[in-house]
Structures are given as C-alpha cells and as structure tokens.
Structure 1
Amino acid sequence: MHGPFNRGGNRKPMAEINVVPFIDVMLVLLVIFMITAPMLTQGVRVDLPQVTSEPIDDVDDSEPIIVSVDREGDYYISLGDDETPVSLDDIADQIIIILDRRPGTPVMVRGDRNVPYGQVVTLMSTLQVAGVTNVGLISEPPSSEN
C-alpha cells in the first residue's frame, strides 16, 4: 500500500529531543518568579532616622534578632526572613527563647523616627530584662536630598 502515511519499512527513529515544551515551561516559571519576587521582600514599614555613623563590626556571622517599632507603635521580632508581630509583654519571653537556642545572637532595634522616644527606651528596658546586654540601633545614612 502506497499512501502519504505509509513510508515503508525502512523508517529510522528520530533521535532529537523536542525542546519547545521545556522552553514554554521555563518562560511560564520566569513570569511567575518575576511576579512573586517583589512580594517576597515584605516587612514592617519603618521610617528610620537618618544619621551619619560607622557600621558595626560584626565579628559573629549569625543573623541578628531585629526588634522593630513601627509608626503605630506595634512591635515585631525578625529573625532572618521570619517576622512576627508581638506585644511588649511577650518580647522578653520570645527573646529569651531565641537566645537559649542561639546564644550570642546580636539584638538590634529598628525604631520609626515618629515613635516617641519613651517607647523605644521602654523596649530597650524590656530587652535588658530578657538578658540582652548589648543592643544596636539601626539607622539609615542621610540622603543627599536633605
């Protein structure tokens, strides 16, 4: 039988891989990552005070514990990418638990510039009760616009 679909018995198998479906999947993944990447950089919106200061020499390469106070006066504890809201009463307990697991972890405070000074001092006092002896304050370098 001789037709357009019959090529006889001497047909060789095709040894090439069709990469078009792989390219389609890669492009879909690229679009997904481009959309989700900006969402991964979330955090507490804190308007840090701008001062000129030297960076702290971090002799320990461990991730610091960052306690933040936002504009509304809410508290957050950040350890790496994990950021959890917490009340002032629970901060000492949380810090004690973290320092028991990872002793020597540096503790930093991020306070919004619009938060009353007394609230930041109360936070630092709470950290002292939790056994933190050294607390660093996070600020931003002054912008050239000022």
Structure 2
Amino acid sequence: MYERKRRRPVSEINVVPYIDVMLVLLIIFMVTAPLVTQGVKVELPKASAEALSDDSKPPIIASVNMDGEYFLNVGGNPDKPMAADELAALVAEQLKLQPEAPVVVKGDGRVAYNQVVQLMVLLQHAGVPSVGLMTDSTEQ
C-alpha cells in the first residue's frame, strides 16, 4: 500500500474575500459621492451675523424681486431689470476689476426659494468664490 503524505496546516489568512468586500464598498462610495456633493456652496458665518466693516470694499449686490427679475447695484442703471446672462457677465467683469469685493444676494421676502438659488448658481458660474446673504435687522 502506498503511504499518505500528511499535509501541514496552512497558517496564512485568505484575504480574497476581504478584497472583494473592499471593492464593493469602493464602488458604492464612488456611485454615491456625486449625489451627496451637489448643491450651492455658501459660506455660513461661524458666529452671529455681523455687518460688513466700513473699511471693506463696497459689496456687489445682486437682487431678485418677487417677480423673479434680476438687478445689480453696479453698471449704468441699477433700477433696471436685466437678463441672467447680462448679470453674470457684469459680475464677472466687476470681479476682474475688484477681485476682493464681497458679493451679496438680496432677495425679496416673498420670492420663491428656487429663484434665490438660481441667482446663487448664476453667480457661481460667473466666478464668484463665496456669496453672502443680505437680511434686514430684526431690531426696530
């Protein structure tokens, strides 16, 4: 009869299942990451809201009224409504002249939230690095 060779026990860990799990997790995170990061970037204050300092440059104020019309405080006529592409071009031009000028969004209290978000997206596409929101004081 022939003799059986005794195998010695293998003391190595089989890591193939762990690699499979890691690849599945990687795929899940790659698919969900773009869904989580969509949105408009807004820098929120770290403490209570403060007024702009007097020594800062005058802000560029982009406004939207209750009818969804856009206005800008720079240019020829700040009381004249303008088209979205015209506003974006004017803001981009103004930022080339004054790159440190703060940009503020002023929205009517009765305007739809979507209109304010669309204005912020428009400013983002014009190259505005951060946008502030203008509010009225609650003190009378």
TM-score range, shorter chain: 0.5 to 0.7
Q: Is the 8 A contact 1:67 1:110 kept in 2?
A: yes
Q: Which amino acid aligns with 1:64?
A: P
**Corresponding residue of 1:136:** 132
The answer to whether residue 73 in structure 2 is matched with residue 78 in structure 1 is yes
Q: Is the 8 A contact 1:63 1:79 kept in 2?
A: no
Instruction: Quote the offset at 1:79 in angstroms.
Output: 3.2
**Corresponding residue of 2:85:** 89
Q: Is the 8 A contact 2:88 2:126 kept in 1?
A: yes
Q: What's the TM-score, normalizing by structure 2? A: 0.58
Q: Which amino acid aligns with 1:65?
A: I
The answer to whether residue 109 in structure 2 is matched with residue 109 in structure 1 is no
Distance 1:132 1:102 in 2: 11
Q: Which amino acid aligns with 1:113?
A: G
Q: Which amino acid aligns with 1:132?
A: V
Cα deviation 1:55-85 (Å, max 9, x = unaligned): 2454852111000111211110003996143
Moved more, 97-106 or 73-82: 73-82
Identity of aligned residues (%): 38
Q: Is the 8 A contact 1:63 1:80 kept in 2?
A: no
Counterpart of 1:94 in 2: which secondary structure? helix
Q: Which amino acid aligns with 1:74?
A: E
Aligned partner (choices 57, 61, 71) of residue 62 of structure 1: 57
User: Structure 1, unaligned stretches of length 5 or more?
Assistant: 1-52
Distance 1:79 1:60 in 2: 19
Q: Is the 8 A contact 1:64 1:79 kept in 2?
A: no
The structure richer in strand per residue is 1
Distance 1:60 1:80 in 2: 22
Instruction: Quote the offset at 1:89 in angstroms.
Output: 2.1
User: Structure 2, unaligned stretches of length 5 or more?
Assistant: 1-47
Aligned length: 92
Q: 1:89 to 1:71 in 2, by over 3 A?
A: same
